Amino acid sequence: MEPQALPEGVNPEFVVLVNGIYYDLCVICNNNSGVRTYCPVDQRKHYVEGCGQLCPDCQDRADFIT
């Protein structure tokens, strides 16, 4: 079975494939952030510019970043 194509420029180590959909991993805890890799950055929740995608848990703990 062919894996779904990754968006250009995405490092496969930073995403996880769930039910045929790529999600970004949290840059802090490396868990599934729940944000689709295809989602534009300006529409993402828990995205920290210059840092990357966080999961909701890490966002809660990382208020100082925002």
Residues that bind Zn ion (CB under 5 A): 26, 28-29, 55, 58
CB atoms within 10 A of CB 23: 21
Q: Closest separation between CB of residue 19 and Zn ion, Å?
A: 21
**Residue 42 beta carbon to Zn ion: minimum distance, rounded to whole angstroms:** 21
Is the Cβ of residue 4 or residue 41 nearer to Zn ion in the bound state?
Answer: 41
CA pair distance 66, 57, nearest whole angstrom: 14
- Triad 44, 60, 13: Cα angle to 5°: 55
Please say which residue, 10 or 48, places its beta carbon nearer to Zn ion: 48
